[in-house]
Amino acid sequence: MKKIYFGIAVLIIIIDQITKWVASSTLTIHEQNPVMPSFNFTLMHNYGAAFSFLSDAGGWQRWFFTIIAVVISIVLVVWITRLKTHEKWLGFALSLVLGGAIGNLIDRVAYGYVVDFIQWYYDRFYWPAFNIADAAISVGAVILLVSSFFADEDTNDDPVTTKTAAPDDQRQ
């Protein structure tokens, strides 16, 4: 089952990199290309993190975010390899986050920025441009959050953390 999770991560990376290559090859930087109402393809280079956080920090942020992405990716790989067979949603969510993190890591190392090209807006209000990797990370994070509310404690087969109730006559 763990091979499927790594396969999903690789698929996200491939789709992300292909779409970024197509966007970079066919779009002009900062030029809005309407696709439908409230949706554009607009090529942008993000030198910072989410929502261009620290994009004008002088260059050190490239390596800072690279190191963070490498560490997070390693943690996610180890986490996925330690998943139990019943933790399917967790595995799926982690694979989305892993694929997205590596997809953006590739850009940051190769170009010094992340290629963004998907732009949603309403009237004069624009959501920051993003890419497939960002979408995968966001969907993975939402799945992690939602699934945490529905976690079934009864499926925990770790004897150290499983709560067992003592019979009434043995309680003090």
Is 168 annotated as catalytic?
no
Considering the candidates 56, 107, 116, 123, report the single residue annotated as catalytic.
116
Evaluate whether 100 touches 158 at the Cβ level (below 8 Å): no
Residue 134 falls in the annotated catalytic set: yes
Question: Within a 10 A sphere around the Cβ of 17, how many other Cβ atoms?
Answer: 19
Sheet hosting strand 32-36, strand order edge to edge: 32-36, 39-46, 114-122, 125-126
Tell me how far CA of residue 136 lies from CA of 29, 85, 92, 130, 167, in angstroms. Answer: 23, 22, 11, 11, 47
Angle between helices 88-111 and 2-26 (to 10 degrees): 40
- Enter the DSSP assignment of 84: -
**Choosing from 123, 134, 152, 158, which is the catalytic residue?**
134
Q: Which residues, 6+ apart, have CB-to-CB distance to 171 below 8 Å?
A: none
**Which residues belong to the active site?**
116, 134
